[in-house]
Structures are given as structure tokens and as C-alpha cells.
Amino acid sequence: KDDKVYVIEANPRASRTVPFIAKAYQEPYVNYATKVMLGENKIKDFDFSPVKNGYAIKIPVFSFEKFPNVNKELGPEMKSTGEAIQFIKDLKDPFFRKVYAERNLYLSK
């Protein structure tokens, strides 16, 4: 109105990716963002020094034993109940090879 922009609602989103990246790099990115949004700091005030020691793999967690009456056949809709993080040294890691090999499994008809 009158060449002014009004913010009616703001929904900052971090979902599950930001906490994963923060854990993988050992940096409190959510804390940084909160302080910037509150005006306590500017981005240049932080010393970003992410730890890059290998790889972090995000893996879905399927807690089928907690839901005994649920169809256990995986389909197109998300049925995982969470995520786990696995740190590996390199991409030749046996765990990574197994997860990577299963990425294109035909899960349901």
C-alpha cells in the first residue's frame, strides 16, 4: 500500500537439512542464523570454519517394528520416521557402497 511492503507472516524454514549440515560440518548454523535475524550479529561476525573430515551420509530410518499394523512395502510416499547420520572416511567405505548400491531398488509396484 502506498509503495510500502508489509510482511504479514514470515515462516523461516530449516527442515531436516540444516541440522544435518550443522552436524556434518560441526558448525552451529541455526545459532548463527538466529543471532543474525535478531540483529545481535552480522554474518561477518562469525568465524566459519567447517570441519571437512570425510563424508556425512543421510540415511532414512524405517521403524517398522514400532508400527506393526502398517504396510511394510515401501512406496512413493515417504514412510520413514526419521533420519540417521553416518560419517565415513572415503567413498570406498563398505557401508556407503551398500547404501549407494540400494538407491535404485524397485520398492513397490
Tens-place pLDDT, residues 30-48: 899 889 989 999 999 999 8
pLDDT along the chain (109 residues), means of 10: 79 78 90 92 92 86 75 66 86 88 61
The predicted structure's pLDDT at residue 59: 83
CA nearest to 53, candidates 16, 27, 75, 81? 27
pTM listed for this prediction: 0.60
Q: What is the pLDDT of residue 106?
A: 53
pLDDT of residue 77: 64
The answer to whether the CB of 80 falls within 8 A of the CB of 61 is yes
SS3 36: helix
